Structure 1
Amino acid sequence: MGNRRRKAGPPAVVVGHDWGAAIAWHTALLRPDIVRGVAGVSVPPMPRGPVPPMSDARERFGEDFYQVYFQQPQAAEAELAKDIPTTFRKVLAGTPTGEGSFLGRFAVPESLPGWLTEADIATFTGQFATTGFTGGLNWYRNLDRNWELTAAWQDAPIVPPALYVIGEHDFVRNVCPPGHAGKSRTRPRPARSSTYRTAATGHSKNVRRRSTRLFSTSSTACRGPGTAPHRLPYEPLLPDHSG
């Protein structure tokens, strides 16, 4: 965004997945002057709540919730780094078992799905063997501070046109179910928005399967006021709020 501002280029369409979606939503919230459209995959635009996120997470999910577990210094780092290839096999393609430690709740897949290759696993392993997992985990450890720093935007709407896409089997639907934000928070959804569910997709497969089409469609859907979004071949998960 800083480079775009210095170059005085046209407003951008910002697209993100998972925590990248949270960054995309906040970019549109904080800088609508340089964002002409925003799209998020998996993680919806979550309004700023009345209490810090970790307090909310503990109340709703308990101390075993993964985001709460990640608050413990070095605990998650040690578990994730013990066997990095297995970590990514479990997290990206494992079947949830619902028991044990964070990784213990996933079964190692007998084979990788078509959208994930051994080369992908090797790339992730090489990168995280060098960097470690602390940088990524620190995002979770900073959630309450981010909440504190955004107090001035309490109840502020996302102004640019918005597109939200989630997989039919994405676990985020359990963490951020439709209607949860409306029960505990007051900020409305983006004024001009559409929500779509992609059939037979999960949390990561959603990105690999649809990313090229999504990025192209996001640019079309966010052309500006008065422009109807391109109709994606996805079944809506929530009532369509286009316009």
Structure 2
Amino acid sequence: MDRIKRHLNSPFYISEGQRKDNTPVMMAIREALVNMLIHQDFFERKIAQVRHFSNSISFINPGSAQLKEAEDLYIGDLTAPRNPIIAKAFRLVGWAEIAGTGLLKIIHSWQEMKFELPKIENDHGRYQFSITLSQQHFINEDDKEWLFKFAELDLTEQEKLILVAAKKYKSISNSQIRLLLGIEDTLTVSQLLSKLCESHKPLLTKIGTKGRGVRYELNSKKFSRMLLGKIEIK
């Protein structure tokens, strides 16, 4: 953790004249490190790795999660840790909480800082699990410029976040948007997504019919026509 702190852009903050190290960033990174160790398959020849880049950090461990659907990872529907004794040791020293809550804590901490959602990859083929935490703000200058082209639609802040998410991730799910917006109610987010899929303003296209497999993509035809219209006006 000390080595990781030295590479972070903002490893601490000042509150009431005192240094505070337990920022949402540090909480997320600590949880990711603990998650890597309690789920690592120590019988594999590969080793766990922490890779640090200029604006992101990745935690990679041998041993994929037992779940088949990556969607379950985003909603915290996880199985027991691969190494329960190690998990218990971390809980005893206050570095881990109830099994299955670590990933959600990471995502919520990152969302609190308005960063891009953590990238979670559960690769059964390579038998590998990874979490990448990017310190890029979710809506950057390019995104703002892109949204400005659709100013006439009078989009709400929530709708803007949803559209930027669809643009960044190619497709989005209800659970991802709940995490992004900090909304726990599934129905509320379903209504937001449905509104963006309505025929008179079809900014999103729904893929699938029901269940966790349902995803939403940008309506490419709609956006293409709008952008072409802007070009003609200019």
Greater relative CO, 1 or 2 (CA 8 Å, sep 6+): 1
Larger Rg: 2
Q: TM-score scaled by structure 1? A: 0.29
